[in-house]
């Protein structure tokens, strides 16, 4: 992997996001708004809210991550940058990894920070908040990596946004189960560590598998 390309692309994506700060905040705004709809929808019963809180936070984080996926490669594809990036020496993996890392920093990390806040809003007990935080800390990079594969596969297609969601959501089910399950386990008086360990294992598998798959999909897309 070409480290210089990784760093250049990562820093450029951060800079671009900084130039369009409001746009970068939209997924977080969606996350907060969507999750705060649940008390209105299912009623303000604290017991019910407490029960569904981890799942609600996780599902909303999942959807927020997917919504921010379509422009990940589409913008670079449209203006010719992607071709240039892929022509650089040994660049495919570096581009895929840098894009996923950039997406996580811009869209994933704010979700992690916002999640405990939403947990409080939904009445989650304070001992479950750190678990929710850690589960999202491990889980959101998985979403960025899987989303990158989806974004690369649907590059240049119309209605790519919907297709990304349809491709990635089934793949993200294990992360959702273990992520939301971690907080639920604490609620049931059990340890959260098995869930978090499995989530960590999933993250490692995605770190190893997703960038090569993304790079291959990108090469096909520019051909």
Partner 1 sequence: MSGPTSILTRPCLRHRPDRPMNSSPLNGLPAATTASPSPLPSLRLLDVACRRGDRLLFSGLNETLASGELLWLRGDNGRGKTSLLRLVAGLAAPERGQILWGDAPTRRNERFAGELVYIAHANALKDDLTATESLAFLARVHGRDAGAPAIRAALARLGLAGRERTPARSLSQGLRRRVALARLALETTPALWVLDEPFDALDVAGTATLHALLAAHRARGGSVLLTSHHLHLDVAAASAGFRVLDLDLLPRDAGALA
Structure tokens at 47: 């017991």
Cβ of 127: how many Cβ atoms within 10 Å?
10
Q: Which of 143, 144, 151, 147 lies closest to 174 in space, CA to CA?
A: 143
For residues 58 and 134, the answer to whether their CB atoms sit within 8 Å is no
- Minimum CB distance to partner 1, residue 87 (Å): 6
Show the CA angle centred on residue 207, arms to residues 172 and 25, nearest 5°.
Answer: 65
Show the CA angle centred on residue 18, arms to residues 59 and 160, nearest 5°.
Answer: 45
Is 14 or 109 the residue whose CB approaches partner 1 more closely?
Answer: 14
Contact call for residue 194 and partner 1 (CB under 8 A): no
Is 62 or 91 the residue whose CB approaches partner 1 more closely?
Answer: 91
Contact call for residue 8 and partner 1 (CB under 8 A): yes
Contact call for residue 152 and partner 1 (CB under 8 A): no
Residue in 43, 47, 87, 170 binding partner 1, rule: CB under 8 A: 87
- Minimum CB distance to partner 1, residue 156 (Å): 14
Site residues for partner 1 per CB under 8 A: 4-5, 8-9, 12, 15-16, 19-20, 79-81, 83-91, 222-223
């Amino acid at each position: 992997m070409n480290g210089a390309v990784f760093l250049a692309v990562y820093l450029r994506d951060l800079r671009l996001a900084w130039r369009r700060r409001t746009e970068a905040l939209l997924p977080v705004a969606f996350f907060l708004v969507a999750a705060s709809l649940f008390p209105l929808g299912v009623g303000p019963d604290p017991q019910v809210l407490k029960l569904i809180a981890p799942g609600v936070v996780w599902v909303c984080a999942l959807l927020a991550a997917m919504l921010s996926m379509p422009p990940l490669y589409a913008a670079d594809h449209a203006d010719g940058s992607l071709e240039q990036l892929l022509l650089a020496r040994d660049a495919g993996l570096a581009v895929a990894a840098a894009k996923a890392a950039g997406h996580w920093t811009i869209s994933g990390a704010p979700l992690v920070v916002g999640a405990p806040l939403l947990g409080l809003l939904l009445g989650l007990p304070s001992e479950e908040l750190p678990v929710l935080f850690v589960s999202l800390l491990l889980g959101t990079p998985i979403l960025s990596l899987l989303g990158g594969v989806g974004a690369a596969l649907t590059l240049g297609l119309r209605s790519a946004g919907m297709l990304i969601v349809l491709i990635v959501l089934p793949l993200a089910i294990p992360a959702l189960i273990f992520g939301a399950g971690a907080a639920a386990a604490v609620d049931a008086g059990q340890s959260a560590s098995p869930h978090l360990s499995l989530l960590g294992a999933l993250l490692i598998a995605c770190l190893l598998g997703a960038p090569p798959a993304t790079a291959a999909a990108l090469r096909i897309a520019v051909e």
